[in-house]
Amino acid sequence: MSNGAWTDQENDLIVADYFAMLADDVSGRPYNKAEHRRGLLPLLNDRSEGSVEFKHQNISAVLKGLGEDWIPGYKPAFNFQMTLVDAVARWLALNPAWLGRHSGTRAPTGLAEVRPIWIGPPPTLSNQPPPQELEQMLHIARKFDVAARDERNRALGRAGEERVLAHERATLKSAGRDDLARNVRWVSEEDGDGAGYDIASFALDGSPRLIEVKTTNGWERTPFHISRNELAVAEARRSEWSLFRLWNFAREPKAFELHPPLGAHVSLTATTFQASLH
């Protein structure tokens, strides 16, 4: 069996096969991993089933770094070659509709019950993955500017805001505060962007909650963009403002909240500058 480096052609073949399985997995359609492996083997350069299996795990890791969905049955395996990252990027470039989707995530309407969003602790230094794994993930995110891609994906952002809106209303109703739930507003939808937050909600005691929603299909450490105005409002209204980070959105939305000062939780990097002529 070959132990040599995978060629671009081999990487393209296995990436395409992986996305075929992922599309079935996301849609709930049955598929057989063993059949996919056996179908690939004659097209590859004398690879073993084990090497194909491990390469699928590498692809999961690449997708994790790209802030994208991956097949749960293929646990991400790291220390992969950047040529594999390039192959995944090529597939995504040829299939732009994949990044434009947001599957099965709209908030229920009418009498449908809203499932609560799992809200856990924010990422910290104490719960971060091993340094080499984290650096590889963040390197991919920086190279492909995952934060900017999520920011441009208005369908994803809008769906995330709608889901948080439903979550806030359901949380207040379950606590017996229907009066407050009726007054929760989707500010960015009703008034447009510019307020420095997306949703105006309430704590159980009736005090204001100003929620800025940031949504990704990726993992909890996927970078995100935040505007100068959002930072200014966070600073001016510290006791009311919070950042609601919604992750794993395409599968089962999970979240954590960050409260000002944001510099205590994240590293802020300037990515654009306003230029004025002399």
pLDDT tens by residue, 221-251: 999 999 999 999 999 999 999 999 999 998 8
pLDDT tens by residue, 174-225: 999 999 999 999 999 999 989 999 999 999 999 999 999 999 998 999 999 9
Strand runs labelled E in the chain: 118-119, 185-186, 199-202, 208-215, 241-247, 254-258
**Predicted pLDDT at 250:** 85
Distance CA 37, CA 18 (A): 10
For residue 105, pLDDT over 50 is answered with no
Structure tokens at 59: 């692809």
Distance CA 211, CA 138 (A): 26
**Predicted pLDDT at 110:** 44
For 35-52, what is the mean pLDDT? Answer: 94
**Predicted pLDDT at 127:** 80
**Predicted pLDDT at 103:** 44
Four-way CATH pick for 131-262: 3.40.1350, 3.30.160, 3.40.50, 1.10.10: 3.40.1350
Domain with CATH 3.40.1350 in the chain: 131-262
79: left (phi over 0), alpha (psi -120 to 50) or beta: left
